[in-house]
């Protein structure tokens, strides 16, 4: 099995030639004789393509040939071939002229490659043409992750549209979260839950028209039946103190134990609690100088940053599932 090195160009003014050489053959990667620079042609659009298929000879060649044959220009290309696995993963960013290469034709071209290589996943995204992701955010009492997502959405920092916020906590109408949601016309659904009634059917009815769900410190377990019925990705965030400090008030437990390193983990939700494929993790040191208040503040800041980065990576097609419980994050 050949191990492929990562090939990335960070220079937007690319020369009309080969981007780089890895141990897999890149001889067929030929960019157009005239460099496509978005500063020269304002009609050029940016696109992303991800590909996952069984490993084989000529995949990189055919992918690059598909883009170049339509006048597109590759800006970056990431390839991963794991050891001892018959698998190939890639993510490419490129610019193209929509007059010469229509969105419909692009889908057809990449679909042919999917059939050629028996692809398990082939997704193309053109941010300027394609609709934004539609998401629902589930939250409980804590606001820090929820409000951070609302602010990022308002500022256009994350490429999604929030269709609703669902919570098992009844917020007062005068809270900053409710006022924000009312100001922006985002519905807030309070679903009271008990041990006997998790309200999962009601949640399913509210999220049918979404592309994925985000659990922003939602302190309820979603069952396997819910996940199977929803059938799309669910992204969760939790503190990085697990599994050492379970149960109530983990920050107090960790603070009292004198830990020196705290963190946050964002992952896909699976039926096994807090054990889904990890998307993003962040850590920070704490010391004897931290009190409980600063300890909690650091932990919450990590959770906000980690969740936002995981969602951004997911929306930019940087996250691919790998094996039973792992991810490739380009």
Is 320 in contact with 50 (CB distance < 8 Å)? yes
Q: Residue 214's beta-bridge partner residues?
A: 137, 235
Active site residue 274: yes
| Count of Cβ atoms closer than 10 Å to residue 24 Cβ | 19
Of the candidates 125, 115, 57, 56, which has an alpha carbon nearest to the alpha carbon of residue 91?
Answer: 125
Q: Residue 281's beta-bridge partner residues?
A: 265
Q: Left (φ > 0), alpha (ψ -120 to 50) or beta: where does 191 sit?
A: beta
Output the DSSP codes for 178-217: HHHHHHHT--EEE----SS---HHHHHHHHTT-SEEEESS
Q: Left (φ > 0), alpha (ψ -120 to 50) or beta: where does 199 sit?
A: left
Distance CA 17, CA 14 (A): 8
Of the candidates 72, 95, 74, which has an alpha carbon nearest to the alpha carbon of residue 8?
Answer: 74
Q: Supply angle C-alpha 87, 227, 167, rounded to 5.
A: 130
Catalytic residue among 55, 233, 274, 290: 274
In order of 117, 118, 126, 252, 262, the CA distances from 112 in angstroms are 9, 10, 19, 56, 47
Distance CA 256, CA 48 (A): 47
Catalytic residues: 274
């Amino acid at each position: 099995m050949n191990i492929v090195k990562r090939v990335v160009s960070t220079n937007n003014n690319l020369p009309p030639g080969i981007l780089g050489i890895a141990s897999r053959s890149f001889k067929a990667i030929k960019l157009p004789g005239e460099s496509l620079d978005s500063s020269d042609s304002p009609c050029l659009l940016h696109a992303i393509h991800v590909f996952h298929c069984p490993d084989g000879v000529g995949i990189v060649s055919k992918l690059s040939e598909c883009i170049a044959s339509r006048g597109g220009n590759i800006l970056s290309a990431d390839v991963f071939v794991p050891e001892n696995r018959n698998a190939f993963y890639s993510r490419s960013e490129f610019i193209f002229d929509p007059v010469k290469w229509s969105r419909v034709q692009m889908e057809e071209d990449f679909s042919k490659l999917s059939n050629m290589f028996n692809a398990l996943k082939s997704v193309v995204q053109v941010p300027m043409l394609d609709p934004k992701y539609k998401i629902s955010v589930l939250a409980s009492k804590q606001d820090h992750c929820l409000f951070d997502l609302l602010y990022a959405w308002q500022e256009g920092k994350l490429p999604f549209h929030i269709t609703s916020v669902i919570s098992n906590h009844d917020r007062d109408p005068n809270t900053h979260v409710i006022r924000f949601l009312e100001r922006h016309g985002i519905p807030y659904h309070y679903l009271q839950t008990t041990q006997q009634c998790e309200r999962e059917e009601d949640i399913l009815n509210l999220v049918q028209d979404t592309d994925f769900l985000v659990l922003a410190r939602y302190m309820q377990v979603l069952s396997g039946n819910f996940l199977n019925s929803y059938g799309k990705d669910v992204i969760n965030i939790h503190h990085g103190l697990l599994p050492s400090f379970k149960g109530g008030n983990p920050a107090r437990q960790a603070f009292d134990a004198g830990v020196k390193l705290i963190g946050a983990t964002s992952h896909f939700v699976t039926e096994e609690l807090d054990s889904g494929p990890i998307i993003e993790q962040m850590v920070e040191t704490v010391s004897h100088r931290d009190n409980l208040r600063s300890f909690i503040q650091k932990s919450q800041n990590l959770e906000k940053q980690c969740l936002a980065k995981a969602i951004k990576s997911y929306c930019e097609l940087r996250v691919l599932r790998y094996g039973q419980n792992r991810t490739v994050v380009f």
